[in-house]
Amino acid sequence: MTSLRKQLFSGIAFTAIAKYAGMIISLIITAVLSRLLTPSEFGIIAVAMVIITFFGVFSDLGIAPAIIQDKTLDKKDLSNLFSFTVWLAITISFFFFLSSGLIARYYDSPILKSICRVLSLSLLFNTMSIVPNALLYRDKAFKFLAKRSVAVQFVVGTIAILAAFYGAGVYALLINPVVSAIVIFIITFRRYPQQIRWTLGLSSLRKIFSYSSFQFLFNLINYFSRNLDKLIVGKYLGMSMLGFYEKSYRLMMLPLQNITHVITPVMHPVFSDFQNDLHQLESSYRKVVRLLAFIGFPLSIFLLFTSKELMLLIFGMQWEASVPVFRILSLTVGSQVILSTSGSIFQAAGDTRSLFIAGLFSAILNVVGLLIAVFVFETLSAVAWAILISFSINFFQCYIQMYFVTFKTKMTQFFKIFVSPLILSIILLVVLFLYSNSISINNLLLSLIVKSTISFIIWGVYVQITNTFNIVKKISSSLINNKR
């Protein structure tokens, strides 16, 4: 258990360094580009990224998680799988390149043709990186992954900013996905060189098929669940509306990506060691969920009351139309922070079939809600409400599937861990509501600082009084160790 805790926290620490450094770099780049480019240009890039993500789903086929999970794969199997991904990368990137004209005509945006053709390079190198990158996670090389991530993001981010200043326009947004993919492949391949074989490597692919097939199906339906909103909004509500929506959605995803995405890359490699001990897996996961609940639910309330300050301070006054949408989407952060870790547990338990079933239910609900929002209500706020409702329902159905099918146990202990975080969130909601309706500060930065201070004090006092986390003891221990 000590070894598990050490591996988990070591991995989270290194992944956190990379993610938070990346968040700072991403915010700087986005803040600069948001003031140089229009919502329509951001909408065009959003469409292109959604479409290339679709092709990317077919390039993965669930191979990476299968490599992490299956400890019996030898060097020959890995070479076969790498060879398969190389031929797959060439084929899929070629088809994406050829389809660029059709994509541009469908959205009546000629510039999409050249954008998609450039992005085909990203698809090529990302696909060829699947096997060596999976080996990094299987071997728990989190320190190397963190160094690679920070270095690449810093260099590529700097290039993107310089390109924007020198008039690259919308193409400055392509530097990050394309150059990053190339550099990451080179670095990762040097760490884990693989032999390219002139066969498709189907014999090795069959070894992981039962696991990877359901993972692939989940990735496919999850793609539509997560990206159909951008495709439909861009087509039927317009590129400018998509730009406003994408900006609010992206800002909502920032805390999610930099909280759970610090943990989830570590969870599958570490928890896969418990694939034959589901009781230990469930118990360990419950502790992770408890921690995330104390972060995610109060964070949702904080974002709800600081929506305007965050949106306008980060992106500028021209993005004010995104504020109402972001305010609604912020209410999904609490459930998403926890729900986004569920996939790693299904994977670690070897139950990708249940992952697929939960994902299928989620996709159907998300698509139905989205179609009603766009074609009946025809507003961005309606789209945001549809996402909030569907995510809330999906939270319960996912964990019912996990506990009754995967773990084969009751959910009593699981639900108990949410009582205290929800009480904290309600207290924070009442205090910020009373403050916002009694005091008005016109200065956005000052308003954000005051609300942040209030929220942090309430959170700190609550977790200390309830003995959830003994902050005073931690600080005292740190001071004593520093003196020594």
As a whole number of Å, the CA-based R_g of the chain is 23
CB distance 308 to 364 below 8 Å: no
- Quick one: pLDDT at residue 428? 95
The verdict on 227 and 368 lying in the same domain is yes
Using an 8 Å Cβ cutoff, are 84 and 203 in contact?
no
* Rounded-to-integer distance, Cα 241 and Cα 307, Å: 18
The answer as to whether 36 is a domain residue is: yes
pLDDT(206) > 60: yes
pLDDT at residue 433 in the model: 94
- Is residue 282 within 8 A of residue 51, CB to CB? The reply is no
Residues 6+ apart with CB under 8 A from 369: 386, 387, 389, 390
Top mean pLDDT of 12-21, 27-36, 52-61 is at 52-61
259 with 170, same domain? no
User: Three-state DSSP class for 145?
Assistant: helix
**Model-level pTM?**
0.68
Do residues 352 and 474 share a domain? Answer: yes
Percent of the chain with pLDDT over 90: 18
pLDDT score of 26 more than 70: no
* Shared-domain flag, residues 328 and 407: yes
Per-residue pLDDT of 454-471, as tens digits, reads 999 999 899 888 887 665
In a domain, 4, yes or no: no
DSSP 167-184: T-GGGHHHHHHHHHHHHH
> Are residues 203 and 244 located together in one domain of the fold?
no
Q: What is the distance between the alpha carbons of residues 92 and 180, in angstroms, rounded to a whole number?
A: 19
In angstroms, rounded to a whole number, what is the distance separating the alpha carbons of residues 234 and 222? 19
pLDDT mean across residues, the chain: 82
- Of 333, 325, 330, 327, the C-alpha closest to 244 is 325
- Last residue of a domain, which of 179, 207, 235? 207
Asked if residues 293 and 423 have their Cβ atoms less than 8 Å apart, the reply is no
For position 145, what pLDDT does the model report? 78
* Helix then strand then coil, % of the chain, to nearest 5: 85, 0, 15
Q: Is residue 25 part of a domain?
A: yes
- Residue 454's pLDDT is what? 94
Rounded to an integer, the average pLDDT of 433-462 is 91
Residues 395 and 337: beta-carbon distance below 8 Å? no
**212 domain residue, yes or no:** no
DSSP string, 38-90: -HHHHHHHHHHHHHHHHHHHHHHTTHHHHHHH-TT--HHHHHHHHHHHHHHHH
- Averaged pLDDT, 438-443: 86
Confidence of residue 12 (pLDDT cuts 50, 70, 90): low
Higher pLDDT, 285 or 72: 285
Does 392 share its domain with 285? yes
288, 342 Cβ separation under 8 angstroms: no
180 and 237 belong to one structural domain: no
Are 443 and 383 part of one and the same domain?
Answer: yes
If one counts every other C-beta atom within 10 angstroms of the C-beta of residue 468, the result is: 16
pLDDT at res. 23: 63
Tell me the pLDDT band of 254, cut-offs 50, 70 and 90.
confident
Cα–Cα distances in angstroms (integers) from residue 483 to residues 91, 336, 472, 480, in the given order:
61, 41, 17, 5
Stretch 359-380: mean pLDDT: 87
Task: Examine the domain organization and report whether 331 and 463 are in the same domain.
Answer: yes
In-domain check, residue 2: no
Q: Is the pLDDT of residue 435 over 80?
A: yes
Among 150, 173, 207, which residue terminates a domain?
207
Q: Greater confidence, 61 or 20?
A: 61
**Pair of tokens at residue 311:** 């949106």
Task: Tell me whether residue 297 is in a domain.
Answer: yes
Tokens of 464: 């200390």
Last residue of some domain: 148, 176, 207? 207
DSSP classification of residue 196: -
Residue 288 lies in a domain: yes
Q: Say what the pLDDT of residue 479 is.
A: 45
Average pLDDT value for residue range 284-291: 88
The label of the residue with tokens 């108990």 reads 416
Q: Is the pLDDT of residue 482 over 90?
A: no
Q: Which of 20-24, 199-203, 374-378, 415-419 has the highest mean pLDDT?
A: 415-419
Query: 110 with 160, same domain?
Result: yes
On whether the CB atoms of residues 345 and 65 are closer than 8 A, the answer is no
Kindly state the average pLDDT of the residues 249-275: 74
400 and 267 within one domain: yes
| Confidence band for 274, pLDDT divided at 50, 70 and 90 | confident
Residue 22: pLDDT over 70 = no
Give me the pLDDT at residue 261, please: 66
pLDDT score of 391 more than 70: yes
Rank 245-249, 314-318, 431-435 by mean pLDDT and report only the highest.
431-435
Could you list the residue range(s) of the whole structural domain that residue 129 is in? 20-207
- Mean pLDDT, residues 349-375 taken together: 88
CA dihedral (404, 409, 414, 416) in degrees, to 10, reads: 120
Which of 162, 112, 201, 416 is closest to 289 using CA atoms? 416
396 and 457 both lie in a single domain = yes
Which has the closest alpha carbon to 385: 336, 333, 334, 329? 329
pLDDT bucket at 449, cuts 50 / 70 / 90: very high
Does residue 1 belong to any structural domain of this protein? no
Higher pLDDT, 176 or 435: 435
Into how many domains does the chain fold? 2
